[in-house]
């Protein structure tokens, strides 16, 4: 299984932007579709965005659509989440995950997870 490490989280004011990165190692990165999820304390982990092996197709949650962009660089074994027009409700721990089966929104479909990176958006 691939190992994943997220970075790029931090604090930002509402309306600002952040770019999260997720570096993969220990496996064939281009064999995995990749996803981003987020979680706030006491709540379920929720799907944010996903991208296919080649990057040719992407899928977003309604809350992310139009503001977030998922992309990947298979040469660098890295997936990104560009987040623009951030809102306080985007505050969460963001996790990247790898899915060998393909593009999906269900947590159960993902094989490997990173440790998460905190994003805090102030009003």
pLDDT tens column, 82-112: 999 999 999 999 999 999 988 899 999 999 9
Coil/strand/helix, residue 31: helix
Q: Which two tokens stand for residue 63?
A: 């809350």
Torsion of CA 46, 99, 102, 93, to 10 degrees: 20
Separation CA 3–CA 72 (nearest Å): 16
Q: What pLDDT is attached to residue 65?
A: 98
pLDDT tens column, 12-54: 999 999 999 999 999 899 999 999 999 999 999 999 999 999 9
């Amino acid at each position: 299984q691939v190992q994943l490490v997220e970075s790029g989280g931090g604090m930002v004011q509402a309306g600002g932007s952040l770019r999260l990165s997720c570096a993969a190692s220990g496996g064939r990165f281009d064999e995995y579709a990749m996803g981003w999820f987020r979680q706030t304390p006491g709540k379920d982990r929720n799907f944010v965005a996903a991208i296919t092996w080649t990057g040719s197709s992407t899928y977003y949650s309604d809350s992310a659509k139009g503001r977030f962009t998922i992309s990947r660089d298979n040469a660098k074994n890295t997936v990104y989440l560009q987040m623009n027009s951030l809102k306080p409700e985007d505050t969460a721990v963001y996790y990247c995950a790898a899915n060998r089966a393909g593009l999906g929104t269900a947590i159960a479909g993902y094989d490997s997870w990173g440790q998460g990176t905190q994003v805090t958006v102030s009003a």
